Amino acid sequence: MKIPTGPGDPPRPRRRGLRPRHLLLPSLALVAGVLSTAVVPDARGYTLLGFSLDLDQRDFRVHNNFSDPSANNNQSLDDDFPGYRGAIMAIWKAHVEWQSAAHGTGDGDPTQPGGLGSGGANFDPSFQGESPTPGGIDHNVHAEISGCSGGLYAFTEQPDAGGWRIRYYSCVEWADGPDGQLDPGEIDLQGVACHQAGHAAGLGHSIDHDASMYAVVTGTGVSLRSIESDDRSGIMAIYGSAGANKPRIDQLIVIGDELTVHGEHFSPGDNQIWFTRGGPGGDGYPVKATGLSSNGTELTCVIPPEAGKGDILVRRGATAYQDLSAARPSYLAETCFQPTSYCTTTPNSVGSGAIMSSRNMPSTTEQILPLEVDGGPPNQFGIFYYGTDQIATPYGDGVRCVGGGNLGVFRLPVLNLDPFGKVGLMIDWNTYPVGGGPGEWLIGDTWNAQFWYRDPTAGTAGFNFSDALSFTICH
Ligand SMILES: [Zn+2]
Protein backbone atom coordinates (compact mmCIF):
# COMPACT_ATOMS: atom_id res chain seq x y z
CA MET A 1 0.00 0.00 0.00
CA LYS A 2 2.94 2.33 0.23
CA ILE A 3 3.19 3.45 -3.37
CA PRO A 4 0.04 4.59 -5.14
CA THR A 5 -0.33 2.78 -8.42
CA GLY A 6 -2.60 4.30 -11.02
CA PRO A 7 -3.47 3.00 -14.47
CA GLY A 8 -0.61 5.00 -15.96
CA ASP A 9 2.03 4.06 -13.45
CA PRO A 10 4.76 1.59 -14.36
CA PRO A 11 4.51 -1.81 -12.66
CA ARG A 12 6.15 -1.94 -9.29
CA PRO A 13 9.03 -4.34 -8.88
CA ARG A 14 8.08 -7.31 -6.77
CA ARG A 15 10.25 -8.20 -3.89
CA ARG A 16 9.62 -11.86 -4.49
CA GLY A 17 7.78 -13.99 -6.97
CA LEU A 18 4.04 -14.34 -6.71
CA ARG A 19 3.47 -16.71 -3.86
CA PRO A 20 -0.22 -17.32 -3.21
CA ARG A 21 0.48 -19.67 -0.35
CA HIS A 22 -2.59 -18.89 1.74
CA LEU A 23 -5.53 -20.46 0.13
CA LEU A 24 -8.97 -21.15 1.29
CA LEU A 25 -9.56 -24.66 0.12
CA PRO A 26 -12.75 -26.49 -0.73
CA SER A 27 -11.75 -30.00 0.20
CA LEU A 28 -10.11 -31.76 3.09
CA ALA A 29 -7.82 -33.63 0.75
CA LEU A 30 -5.77 -30.51 0.26
CA VAL A 31 -5.44 -29.47 3.88
CA ALA A 32 -2.21 -31.29 4.53
CA GLY A 33 -0.55 -29.59 1.62
CA VAL A 34 -1.57 -26.22 2.92
CA LEU A 35 -0.55 -26.86 6.47
CA SER A 36 2.92 -27.75 5.34
CA THR A 37 3.41 -24.12 4.36
CA ALA A 38 2.58 -22.83 7.82
CA VAL A 39 5.71 -21.54 9.47
CA VAL A 40 5.24 -22.07 13.16
CA PRO A 41 3.00 -24.91 14.29
CA ASP A 42 1.66 -24.45 17.77
CA ALA A 43 0.17 -26.63 20.44
CA ARG A 44 -3.05 -24.80 19.78
CA GLY A 45 -4.98 -25.14 16.57
CA TYR A 46 -3.71 -21.94 15.04
CA THR A 47 -0.45 -21.46 13.19
CA LEU A 48 1.57 -18.35 12.57
CA LEU A 49 3.16 -17.12 9.38
CA GLY A 50 6.06 -15.60 11.29
CA PHE A 51 5.53 -11.88 10.89
CA SER A 52 3.48 -9.06 12.37
CA LEU A 53 2.18 -6.16 10.33
CA ASP A 54 3.87 -2.86 11.01
CA LEU A 55 1.71 -0.28 12.77
CA ASP A 56 1.51 1.74 9.55
CA GLN A 57 -0.04 -1.30 7.83
CA ARG A 58 -3.43 -1.28 9.54
CA ASP A 59 -5.24 0.08 6.48
CA PHE A 60 -7.41 -1.87 4.09
CA ARG A 61 -9.33 -0.88 0.96
CA VAL A 62 -11.62 -2.55 -1.52
CA HIS A 63 -11.34 -2.36 -5.29
CA ASN A 64 -14.96 -3.14 -6.06
CA ASN A 65 -14.58 -5.01 -9.34
CA PHE A 66 -16.68 -7.98 -8.23
CA SER A 67 -18.48 -9.24 -11.28
CA ASP A 68 -21.38 -11.13 -9.69
CA PRO A 69 -24.46 -8.96 -9.09
CA SER A 70 -24.93 -10.92 -5.85
CA ALA A 71 -21.66 -9.44 -4.55
CA ASN A 72 -23.15 -5.95 -4.60
CA ASN A 73 -26.89 -6.33 -4.29
CA ASN A 74 -27.10 -5.07 -0.74
CA GLN A 75 -28.20 -1.45 -1.01
CA SER A 76 -29.16 -0.98 2.64
CA LEU A 77 -27.04 1.32 4.77
CA ASP A 78 -25.90 0.39 8.27
CA ASP A 79 -25.06 3.07 10.84
CA ASP A 80 -22.05 1.06 12.00
CA PHE A 81 -20.67 1.09 8.44
CA PRO A 82 -21.55 4.59 7.32
CA GLY A 83 -21.75 5.44 3.67
CA TYR A 84 -20.83 2.09 2.05
CA ARG A 85 -22.85 -0.83 0.73
CA GLY A 86 -22.43 -4.12 -1.10
CA ALA A 87 -19.05 -5.82 -1.30
CA ILE A 88 -17.28 -2.93 0.39
CA MET A 89 -19.48 -3.12 3.47
CA ALA A 90 -19.12 -6.94 3.60
CA ILE A 91 -15.31 -6.73 3.55
CA TRP A 92 -15.31 -3.88 6.07
CA LYS A 93 -17.29 -6.11 8.46
CA ALA A 94 -14.83 -8.94 7.85
CA HIS A 95 -11.83 -6.88 8.94
CA VAL A 96 -13.32 -5.26 12.01
CA GLU A 97 -14.20 -8.68 13.35
CA TRP A 98 -10.46 -8.95 14.12
CA GLN A 99 -10.19 -5.61 15.95
CA SER A 100 -9.54 -5.44 19.67
CA ALA A 101 -13.01 -4.41 20.82
CA ALA A 102 -16.53 -3.98 19.51
CA HIS A 103 -16.84 -1.91 16.35
CA GLY A 104 -19.46 0.70 17.26
CA THR A 105 -22.43 -1.25 18.60
CA GLY A 106 -20.80 -4.45 17.37
CA ASP A 107 -23.93 -5.07 15.30
CA GLY A 108 -24.13 -5.58 11.59
CA ASP A 109 -23.89 -9.35 11.34
CA PRO A 110 -26.99 -11.35 12.33
CA THR A 111 -24.82 -14.41 12.93
CA GLN A 112 -23.19 -12.60 15.89
CA PRO A 113 -25.39 -9.78 17.27
CA GLY A 114 -23.21 -7.25 19.06
CA GLY A 115 -20.21 -9.40 18.27
CA LEU A 116 -18.29 -7.66 15.49
CA GLY A 117 -14.90 -6.79 16.97
CA SER A 118 -13.74 -9.96 18.67
CA GLY A 119 -9.94 -10.04 18.35
CA GLY A 120 -8.98 -8.91 21.82
CA ALA A 121 -5.42 -8.29 20.59
CA ASN A 122 -3.38 -5.13 20.02
CA PHE A 123 -4.46 -5.25 16.40
CA ASP A 124 -6.94 -2.71 15.01
CA PRO A 125 -7.57 -2.29 11.30
CA SER A 126 -8.32 1.06 9.67
CA PHE A 127 -10.94 1.09 6.89
CA GLN A 128 -9.76 3.30 4.04
CA GLY A 129 -12.67 3.06 1.64
CA GLU A 130 -12.57 2.26 -2.02
CA SER A 131 -9.50 1.84 -4.18
CA PRO A 132 -9.79 2.75 -7.87
CA THR A 133 -7.34 -0.03 -8.78
CA PRO A 134 -6.29 -3.42 -7.36
CA GLY A 135 -3.02 -1.75 -6.38
CA GLY A 136 0.26 -3.54 -5.85
CA ILE A 137 0.87 -6.69 -3.89
CA ASP A 138 1.51 -4.82 -0.66
CA HIS A 139 -1.13 -2.10 -1.05
CA ASN A 140 -3.61 -3.82 1.29
CA VAL A 141 -6.42 -3.98 -1.25
CA HIS A 142 -9.15 -6.59 -1.76
CA ALA A 143 -10.10 -7.23 -5.40
CA GLU A 144 -11.52 -9.87 -7.69
CA ILE A 145 -9.13 -11.59 -10.07
CA SER A 146 -10.41 -13.20 -13.24
CA GLY A 147 -10.40 -16.93 -13.65
CA CYS A 148 -10.28 -20.01 -11.49
CA SER A 149 -7.61 -22.03 -9.76
CA GLY A 150 -8.75 -25.52 -9.06
CA GLY A 151 -11.14 -25.29 -6.16
CA LEU A 152 -9.53 -22.27 -4.62
CA TYR A 153 -11.80 -19.40 -3.74
CA ALA A 154 -9.37 -16.70 -2.73
CA PHE A 155 -5.81 -16.11 -1.63
CA THR A 156 -3.64 -13.58 0.14
CA GLU A 157 -0.61 -12.49 -1.82
CA GLN A 158 2.66 -12.19 0.01
CA PRO A 159 1.53 -11.16 3.43
CA ASP A 160 4.43 -9.81 5.44
CA ALA A 161 5.24 -6.91 7.75
CA GLY A 162 5.03 -4.47 4.84
CA GLY A 163 1.54 -5.30 3.57
CA TRP A 164 -0.55 -7.70 1.52
CA ARG A 165 -3.17 -8.03 -1.19
CA ILE A 166 -6.23 -10.30 -1.23
CA ARG A 167 -7.68 -11.70 -4.46
CA TYR A 168 -11.01 -13.43 -5.05
CA TYR A 169 -11.41 -15.70 -8.07
CA SER A 170 -14.12 -14.52 -10.44
CA CYS A 171 -15.45 -18.01 -11.16
CA VAL A 172 -16.76 -18.17 -7.60
CA GLU A 173 -20.27 -16.78 -7.15
CA TRP A 174 -19.62 -14.16 -4.49
CA ALA A 175 -22.44 -12.76 -2.37
CA ASP A 176 -22.44 -9.82 0.06
CA GLY A 177 -25.41 -11.26 2.02
CA PRO A 178 -25.73 -8.96 5.03
CA ASP A 179 -28.54 -11.14 6.40
CA GLY A 180 -26.36 -14.24 6.19
CA GLN A 181 -28.99 -15.97 4.02
CA LEU A 182 -27.17 -17.03 0.87
CA ASP A 183 -28.58 -18.94 -2.05
CA PRO A 184 -27.19 -22.38 -2.88
CA GLY A 185 -24.02 -22.03 -4.87
CA GLU A 186 -23.17 -18.60 -3.53
CA ILE A 187 -20.05 -18.07 -1.41
CA ASP A 188 -19.98 -15.57 1.39
CA LEU A 189 -17.67 -12.67 0.70
CA GLN A 190 -17.64 -11.53 4.31
CA GLY A 191 -16.77 -14.97 5.65
CA VAL A 192 -13.98 -15.60 3.16
CA ALA A 193 -12.68 -12.04 3.62
CA CYS A 194 -12.54 -12.63 7.37
CA HIS A 195 -10.42 -15.74 6.81
CA GLN A 196 -8.10 -13.94 4.38
CA ALA A 197 -7.80 -10.94 6.70
CA GLY A 198 -6.43 -13.37 9.25
CA HIS A 199 -3.70 -14.39 6.79
CA ALA A 200 -2.97 -10.72 6.08
CA ALA A 201 -2.48 -10.20 9.82
CA GLY A 202 -0.03 -13.10 10.08
CA LEU A 203 -2.10 -16.19 10.78
CA GLY A 204 -1.73 -19.46 8.93
CA HIS A 205 -4.35 -22.20 8.89
CA SER A 206 -5.75 -23.73 12.02
CA ILE A 207 -6.49 -27.38 12.57
CA ASP A 208 -9.43 -26.36 14.78
CA HIS A 209 -12.53 -27.10 12.72
CA ASP A 210 -14.44 -24.29 14.43
CA ALA A 211 -11.85 -21.61 13.65
CA SER A 212 -12.30 -19.04 10.89
CA MET A 213 -8.71 -19.92 9.97
CA TYR A 214 -9.60 -23.54 9.29
CA ALA A 215 -8.61 -24.19 5.69
CA VAL A 216 -11.84 -25.68 4.45
CA VAL A 217 -15.04 -23.83 3.63
CA THR A 218 -18.19 -25.64 4.57
CA GLY A 219 -21.38 -24.60 2.81
CA THR A 220 -21.55 -20.94 1.91
CA GLY A 221 -18.80 -19.85 4.30
CA VAL A 222 -21.05 -17.67 6.48
CA SER A 223 -19.75 -19.46 9.56
CA LEU A 224 -16.30 -17.98 8.93
CA ARG A 225 -17.59 -14.46 9.68
CA SER A 226 -17.26 -14.90 13.41
CA ILE A 227 -13.79 -15.65 14.68
CA GLU A 228 -13.56 -18.19 17.46
CA SER A 229 -11.41 -18.66 20.53
CA ASP A 230 -8.62 -20.34 18.59
CA ASP A 231 -8.49 -17.41 16.14
CA ARG A 232 -8.36 -14.98 19.07
CA SER A 233 -5.53 -16.94 20.64
CA GLY A 234 -3.67 -16.72 17.35
CA ILE A 235 -4.04 -12.98 16.84
CA MET A 236 -3.09 -12.39 20.49
CA ALA A 237 -0.01 -14.58 20.02
CA ILE A 238 1.16 -12.16 17.30
CA TYR A 239 0.15 -8.76 18.65
CA GLY A 240 -0.32 -9.34 22.37
CA SER A 241 -3.53 -9.16 24.35
CA ALA A 242 -5.31 -5.83 24.43
CA GLY A 243 -4.73 -4.58 27.93
CA ALA A 244 -6.83 -2.21 30.01
CA ASN A 245 -4.34 0.57 29.28
CA LYS A 246 -5.05 0.65 25.56
CA PRO A 247 -6.53 3.94 24.25
CA ARG A 248 -10.30 3.77 23.84
CA ILE A 249 -12.84 5.94 22.07
CA ASP A 250 -16.12 6.35 23.95
CA GLN A 251 -17.80 9.23 22.13
CA LEU A 252 -17.31 11.40 19.06
CA ILE A 253 -18.75 14.91 18.87
CA VAL A 254 -18.68 16.96 15.70
CA ILE A 255 -19.50 20.64 15.65
CA GLY A 256 -18.90 22.32 12.36
CA ASP A 257 -15.43 21.27 11.26
CA GLU A 258 -14.23 20.34 14.73
CA LEU A 259 -14.11 16.83 16.17
CA THR A 260 -13.89 16.09 19.87
CA VAL A 261 -13.04 12.54 20.93
CA HIS A 262 -13.90 11.44 24.45
CA GLY A 263 -12.26 8.31 25.76
CA GLU A 264 -9.50 6.93 27.94
CA HIS A 265 -5.74 6.53 28.01
CA PHE A 266 -4.72 9.26 25.59
CA SER A 267 -1.21 10.60 26.13
CA PRO A 268 -0.31 14.18 27.11
CA GLY A 269 1.13 14.97 23.69
CA ASP A 270 1.62 13.72 20.14
CA ASN A 271 -1.73 11.93 19.86
CA GLN A 272 -3.09 11.25 16.39
CA ILE A 273 -6.64 10.83 15.14
CA TRP A 274 -6.92 8.57 12.10
CA PHE A 275 -9.78 9.01 9.65
CA THR A 276 -11.09 7.12 6.65
CA ARG A 277 -10.30 9.02 3.49
CA GLY A 278 -13.42 10.40 1.82
CA GLY A 279 -14.13 9.18 -1.71
CA PRO A 280 -12.12 6.68 -3.72
CA GLY A 281 -8.39 6.97 -4.18
CA GLY A 282 -5.57 7.91 -1.92
CA ASP A 283 -2.63 5.70 -1.09
CA GLY A 284 -4.32 3.71 1.62
CA TYR A 285 -2.73 5.62 4.47
CA PRO A 286 -5.26 6.99 6.92
CA VAL A 287 -5.96 10.71 6.89
CA LYS A 288 -4.47 11.93 10.16
CA ALA A 289 -4.75 14.86 12.51
CA THR A 290 -1.42 14.85 14.35
CA GLY A 291 0.44 16.47 17.23
CA LEU A 292 -2.63 16.59 19.46
CA SER A 293 -2.33 17.16 23.17
CA SER A 294 -4.80 15.73 25.66
CA ASN A 295 -5.79 15.66 29.32
CA GLY A 296 -5.98 11.90 28.93
CA THR A 297 -9.69 11.66 28.17
CA GLU A 298 -10.35 14.25 25.48
CA LEU A 299 -8.89 15.13 22.09
CA THR A 300 -9.97 17.90 19.74
CA CYS A 301 -8.97 18.58 16.16
CA VAL A 302 -10.12 20.32 13.04
CA ILE A 303 -11.43 17.58 10.75
CA PRO A 304 -9.02 17.31 7.81
CA PRO A 305 -10.79 18.15 4.54
CA GLU A 306 -9.73 14.78 3.07
CA ALA A 307 -11.54 12.87 5.84
CA GLY A 308 -14.84 11.18 5.10
CA LYS A 309 -17.43 8.82 6.51
CA GLY A 310 -15.87 5.66 7.88
CA ASP A 311 -13.85 4.76 10.94
CA ILE A 312 -11.96 6.85 13.47
CA LEU A 313 -9.03 5.54 15.53
CA VAL A 314 -6.77 7.24 18.06
CA ARG A 315 -3.05 6.56 18.20
CA ARG A 316 -1.60 8.01 21.34
CA GLY A 317 1.90 9.47 21.52
CA ALA A 318 3.82 6.20 21.16
CA THR A 319 4.14 3.59 18.45
CA ALA A 320 3.72 0.17 20.02
CA TYR A 321 0.87 -1.99 18.77
CA GLN A 322 -1.00 -1.28 22.01
CA ASP A 323 -0.97 2.47 21.35
CA LEU A 324 -3.75 2.35 18.73
CA SER A 325 -7.41 2.26 19.73
CA ALA A 326 -10.12 0.13 18.18
CA ALA A 327 -11.94 1.77 15.28
CA ARG A 328 -15.21 3.54 15.91
CA PRO A 329 -17.54 4.27 12.99
CA SER A 330 -18.65 7.80 12.27
CA TYR A 331 -20.57 9.74 9.69
CA LEU A 332 -18.63 12.68 11.13
CA ALA A 333 -22.16 13.85 11.92
CA GLU A 334 -22.86 12.89 15.53
CA THR A 335 -23.95 16.34 16.53
CA CYS A 336 -25.66 17.72 13.54
CA PHE A 337 -28.36 19.97 14.89
CA GLN A 338 -31.93 20.32 13.75
CA PRO A 339 -32.62 23.68 12.13
CA THR A 340 -33.76 26.20 14.75
CA SER A 341 -36.52 28.78 14.46
CA TYR A 342 -35.88 32.47 14.93
CA CYS A 343 -37.42 35.85 14.14
CA THR A 344 -41.22 36.17 14.07
CA THR A 345 -44.21 35.46 11.92
CA THR A 346 -46.99 37.98 11.27
CA PRO A 347 -50.77 37.42 11.19
CA ASN A 348 -52.13 36.95 7.68
CA SER A 349 -55.51 36.59 5.97
CA VAL A 350 -56.12 33.13 7.39
CA GLY A 351 -54.73 33.24 10.91
CA SER A 352 -51.85 33.94 13.19
CA GLY A 353 -49.18 33.56 10.54
CA ALA A 354 -47.12 31.09 8.51
CA ILE A 355 -44.68 28.85 10.40
CA MET A 356 -41.62 27.25 8.85
CA SER A 357 -40.10 23.88 9.84
CA SER A 358 -37.80 21.10 8.70
CA ARG A 359 -37.67 17.46 9.73
CA ASN A 360 -34.11 16.67 8.68
CA MET A 361 -30.60 17.44 9.81
CA PRO A 362 -28.72 19.71 7.40
CA SER A 363 -26.25 16.90 6.83
CA THR A 364 -24.14 16.25 3.78
CA THR A 365 -24.80 12.59 4.50
CA GLU A 366 -28.55 13.04 4.13
CA GLN A 367 -28.19 15.23 1.06
CA ILE A 368 -31.86 16.16 1.37
CA LEU A 369 -33.28 19.00 3.44
CA PRO A 370 -37.07 19.43 3.38
CA LEU A 371 -38.29 22.96 4.10
CA GLU A 372 -41.97 23.17 5.04
CA VAL A 373 -44.50 25.93 5.74
CA ASP A 374 -47.90 25.71 7.41
CA GLY A 375 -50.50 28.43 8.03
CA GLY A 376 -50.21 30.32 4.77
CA PRO A 377 -53.06 31.52 2.54
CA PRO A 378 -54.38 28.62 0.41
CA ASN A 379 -53.46 28.47 -3.24
CA GLN A 380 -51.22 31.52 -3.21
CA PHE A 381 -47.65 31.35 -4.45
CA GLY A 382 -44.39 32.07 -2.73
CA ILE A 383 -40.69 31.22 -2.53
CA PHE A 384 -38.13 30.06 -0.01
CA TYR A 385 -35.00 32.14 0.03
CA TYR A 386 -31.82 31.97 2.11
CA GLY A 387 -28.81 34.04 3.07
CA THR A 388 -26.05 34.48 5.60
CA ASP A 389 -27.53 37.09 7.94
CA GLN A 390 -30.30 37.14 10.52
CA ILE A 391 -32.25 40.40 10.44
CA ALA A 392 -35.69 41.59 11.57
CA THR A 393 -36.89 44.31 9.24
CA PRO A 394 -40.59 45.18 8.79
CA TYR A 395 -41.37 44.68 5.11
CA GLY A 396 -44.66 44.27 3.25
CA ASP A 397 -47.22 42.97 5.73
CA GLY A 398 -44.62 41.10 7.78
CA VAL A 399 -41.02 40.93 8.91
CA ARG A 400 -38.09 40.07 6.72
CA CYS A 401 -35.73 37.81 8.71
CA VAL A 402 -32.94 36.94 6.24
CA GLY A 403 -30.28 39.28 4.97
CA GLY A 404 -27.76 38.62 2.28
CA GLY A 405 -24.64 40.27 3.68
CA ASN A 406 -22.02 40.61 0.99
CA LEU A 407 -23.41 37.74 -1.06
CA GLY A 408 -27.03 38.75 -1.44
CA VAL A 409 -29.88 36.32 -0.87
CA PHE A 410 -30.52 33.16 -2.88
CA ARG A 411 -34.00 32.38 -4.14
CA LEU A 412 -35.35 28.84 -4.50
CA PRO A 413 -38.04 27.86 -7.04
CA VAL A 414 -41.52 29.44 -7.03
CA LEU A 415 -44.06 27.21 -5.24
CA ASN A 416 -47.83 27.11 -4.79
CA LEU A 417 -49.36 26.72 -1.33
CA ASP A 418 -51.88 23.89 -1.28
CA PRO A 419 -55.61 24.26 -0.42
CA PHE A 420 -54.67 23.86 3.27
CA GLY A 421 -52.11 26.64 3.22
CA LYS A 422 -49.13 24.26 3.32
CA VAL A 423 -46.12 23.96 1.07
CA GLY A 424 -42.88 22.02 1.12
CA LEU A 425 -39.66 21.87 -0.84
CA MET A 426 -37.27 18.92 -0.79
CA ILE A 427 -33.87 20.42 -1.36
CA ASP A 428 -31.81 17.69 -2.99
CA TRP A 429 -28.19 18.78 -2.65
CA ASN A 430 -27.24 16.76 -5.67
CA THR A 431 -29.10 19.27 -7.83
CA TYR A 432 -29.44 22.42 -5.75
CA PRO A 433 -28.01 24.48 -4.13
CA VAL A 434 -24.69 22.66 -4.57
CA GLY A 435 -22.95 23.92 -7.65
CA GLY A 436 -19.90 25.90 -6.68
CA GLY A 437 -21.54 29.30 -6.60
CA PRO A 438 -21.52 31.66 -3.63
CA GLY A 439 -24.76 30.10 -2.32
CA GLU A 440 -23.27 26.61 -2.13
CA TRP A 441 -23.85 24.79 1.15
CA LEU A 442 -20.50 23.74 2.64
CA ILE A 443 -19.78 21.95 5.89
CA GLY A 444 -19.63 24.45 8.71
CA ASP A 445 -21.66 27.11 6.90
CA THR A 446 -24.61 28.59 8.75
CA TRP A 447 -27.53 29.63 6.56
CA ASN A 448 -30.86 31.25 7.31
CA ALA A 449 -34.03 30.62 5.32
CA GLN A 450 -37.53 32.11 5.20
CA PHE A 451 -40.71 31.83 3.11
CA TRP A 452 -42.11 34.86 1.25
CA TYR A 453 -45.67 34.56 -0.01
CA ARG A 454 -48.46 36.49 -1.75
CA ASP A 455 -51.46 37.37 0.44
CA PRO A 456 -53.55 39.89 -1.52
CA THR A 457 -56.61 39.83 0.77
CA ALA A 458 -54.78 40.91 3.92
CA GLY A 459 -52.96 44.07 4.84
CA THR A 460 -51.95 46.57 2.26
CA ALA A 461 -48.75 45.33 0.64
CA GLY A 462 -50.20 42.05 -0.58
CA PHE A 463 -47.28 39.91 0.61
CA ASN A 464 -46.02 38.53 3.89
CA PHE A 465 -43.38 36.24 5.45
CA SER A 466 -43.18 33.14 7.61
CA ASP A 467 -40.88 33.01 10.60
CA ALA A 468 -37.35 31.77 9.75
CA LEU A 469 -35.02 28.81 10.24
CA SER A 470 -31.29 28.81 10.88
CA PHE A 471 -29.15 25.73 10.20
CA THR A 472 -25.47 24.78 10.12
CA ILE A 473 -24.29 22.39 7.46
CA CYS A 474 -22.70 19.32 9.06
CA HIS A 475 -21.01 16.12 7.94
ZN1 LIG B 1 -6.49 -19.73 4.06
Give the CATH number for residue 403.
2.60.40
- Which amino acid type is present at position 410? F
Hey, is 93 helix, strand or coil?
helix
The per-residue pLDDT for range 100-134, each reduced to its tens digit, is: 999 999 999 999 999 999 999 999 999 999 999 99
- Summarize pLDDT for 390-424 with one digit per residue, the tens: 999 999 999 999 998 878 899 999 999 999 999 99
Whether 6 is in a domain gets the answer no
Would the pTM count as exceeding 0.85?
A: no
Residues 214, 105 share a domain:
yes
Distance 320 CA to ligand 1 centre (A): 27
Domain C-terminal end among 211, 239, 267? 239
Lowest mean pLDDT, pick from 35-49, 220-234, 299-313, 429-443: 35-49
Domain that residue 294 falls in: 248-330
- Of 330, 353, 384, the residue that ends a domain is 330
Q: Are residues 85 and 206 located together in one domain of the fold?
A: yes
Instruction: Provide the β-strand partners of residue 272.
Output: 315
362 CA to centre of ligand 1 in angstroms: 45
Residues 111 and 227 both lie in one domain = yes
Q: Quick one: 431 and 315 in the same domain?
A: no
- Based on the structure, what is the number of domains in the chain? 3
Which of 239, 273, 300 is the endpoint of a domain? 239
Q: Clarify whether residues 277 and 345 are in a common domain.
A: no
Q: What is the whole-number distance in angstroms between the Cα of residue 225 and the centre of ligand 1?
A: 14
222 and 310 belong to one structural domain: no
Residues 320 and 359 in one domain: no
Q: Of 336, 329, 334, which is closest to residue 275 (Cα–Cα)?
A: 329
- Judge if 398 and 374 occupy the same domain: yes
The answer as to whether 439 is a domain residue is: yes
Q: How close is the Cα of 20 to the center of ligand 1, in Å?
A: 10
Rounded to the nearest whole angstrom, what is the distance from the C-alpha of residue 203 to the centroid of ligand 1? 9
Residue 205 in any domain: the answer is yes
The reply to whether 3 falls in a domain is no
Interval between CA 180 and ligand 1 midpoint (Å): 21
Domain of 229, CATH number, reads 3.40.390.10
Q: Is 230 inside any structural domain?
A: yes
Any domain includes 17 = no
Residue 170 counted as domain residue? yes
Cα 187 to averaged position of ligand 1 atoms, centre (Å) = 15
209 and 179 in a single domain? The answer is: yes
| Whether 57 and 165 share a structural domain | yes
Residue 113 φ then ψ, to 5°: -55, 130
Kind and range of the H or E element at 187?
strand 187-188
- Distance of CA 90 from the midpoint of ligand 1 (Å): 18
**Residue 5: inside a domain:** no
Distance (Å) from CA 157 to ligand 1 centroid: 11
Q: Is the C-alpha dihedral spanning 127, 103, 198, 245 positive or negative?
A: positive
Are 75 and 220 in the same domain? yes
Percent of the chain whose predicted confidence (pLDDT) is above 70: 87
